[in-house]
Structure 1
Amino acid sequence: MRRLKIIIILLMCLSVHAHSQVVVEQRLDSMEMFIGEQVHLTLSVTAKSGQRVEFPAVKAGTYLLDGIELLEVADADTVKQDNGMQKISRKYTLTSFDDTLYYLPPVTVKVDGKPYQSKSLALKVITVEVDTLKKDEFFPAKGIQDNPFMWSDWTPIIWQILLVILLSAVGYYLYKRLRSNKPIIKRIKVVKKMLPHQKALKEIERIKSEKMTSSEDQKAYYTQLTDTLRTYLQDRFGINAMEMTSGEIIDRLRQEEDKEKLGELRELFETADLVKFAKYSALINENDRNLTTVVAFINDTKMEDMPTEEKIVPKFTEEEKRNNLSHKVLLSLIAVVALCAALLFAYIIWQVVLLIG
């Protein structure tokens, strides 16, 4: 029984000794500070290695107590010591804007769930006496400072300017190509034209004025007379009279005119064929009669209400079409390049204004 009591007493002594090995302390790197300055509070716990240490749960940006603001909470720092001990420290950054003497109460730290307290501290915050009448003597007003030049701010703008220059060069090259590749322009023309009978009668007047009816060159006379009639038939009736024989023309006109008129025209064509191909010599009165027959036929068959204007639609060759297409492509590319360069230049100006402003 006596031995049991002795063992219990020894265990209690060891327990008290173990508890006494836990040391909690807090210290300030300065007991005084000016308003707005910062001071560091270091909270240290010395305990056996392996013991669980719990620091107070405080956050930066809060007030440690009324008038003392906690700016920063550093991570815990552990230092191994002899005899299986360790020292764990955590630093707190404090500041204050009230000139007074602050009482910092003891801080409670838990080691293996058991609370331990540090000693209390005092922190004096003092103000700076300023002579408002001579404030410029100590802290003169500073001039306006320019922002430092940073190449990193201007590098994107420089590359964009180079891109604008490149686009401008491409646009100029395309413009030169465009000038050397002018489009072929053919416009629809509206021309005045004489009515078929007007053109034929005008040609008849020319034949008369040249007195070809009495000319010895009857072949030339009948050639011009029949050509005038053939042209009139082609323009008036739409038949290809210039490529048809006399008989074919008569057969074609049989659907349009009476037999009496066609008989007179047949005689004209027969006489003309004899003169041109059989060296037949017609009499002067025969020449006059044939001329009168043509004039009468024209006057009997003329149409006054035919259109007097003709649209001439131009036709392009394949090479001309390719040339015009190439011109349009170049023009479109120049427009796209110019638009991109203008937009990029405006964007560069906007960035420069932001940087300078």
Structure 2
Amino acid sequence: MIRERTRCLAAMALATLTTLGACTSDETVVSRTEGGNVVASATNENVTVEVTTTRLAAETGEPIELMVTIKAPPDAGAKLIVPENGRLGDFDILSWELAADGTDPLSVAERRRILISTFESGSVRLPGIETKYGTRSSLVTEPVSFEISSLVEGEFDPSDFNDIRGPVDDLIENRQTFWTPTMITATSVGGVIGILAIALALGRGRRTPPRIPHEWALAELARIENEGLGGDDDATERYERIESVLRWYVAFRFGIAAPDRTSNELVEAVMSEVSINDDARAILERIVRGGDRVKFAGGVASAVDCRDALSSTREFVRETTNQMEDAS
């Protein structure tokens, strides 16, 4: 939805300034290895373990698929070791299942399809995967680093696109105008260039929505909570971040352009969304009204406000997720 608006703005700019031949906006694409390349391996004696994946980058909470293949003779007794705590380093194991293999079954002792995800961000290291064979032998693959990005932190900051609308002064009588034809032309050209710049900026900042919006939102809320909610010094900034998570979750889950709308517009849009019940609507309205108070009315959020907003946003995410699951 935001991307369509960006393209429309760019198209308007190009139609006005014919000197600009074409415009392309950079789209963030998740980096991938081609064809499920081997990213880690280990070999000892006649046992080889290979780890393949089709992606080395993901969003927080987004599943990453690994294929782990053990090549060994049957008498080696080679077998992958499942971590007892259900984790591989900072990654949670979502599934650990046998996978069919198109190669010669005599050369493959075991093949597993493993789904992992993490709520960390940045360069997150997946530790080696252990395989035991023989009576007391084992080998471990080398670690692999994945680039995990957060939609709320870093280069993508939803708070940069908050709906700030300045005052309008309509008292223009008895004023001397400076709108000469030359000034009108110059201002028009400058306005078109500004529109084009905004379109390109939005195109660069927009990322592909996460596959599982509620997991993404809960991960971001957990990140904010882990940073600490006790102090009042930066409570206003934390409150704005929590509200940004709420707005982007609504955008990802329901297709509503929540980050671009004023609080009144957002509340009206949510009222017309049948899959959001009255309790969830009340939660959203309370949080965005609080955001207006701290962003535009000179208010200051406290640590108590942040704790309440975080727990309420978490409740909103879980409530709307349960509603959609029940409806399906």
Alignment TM-score, normalising by the size of structure 2 = 0.33
Give the number of the structure whose residues are more often helix, by fraction.
1
Question: Rg: which structure is higher?
Answer: 1
TM-score (normalised: structure 1): 0.31
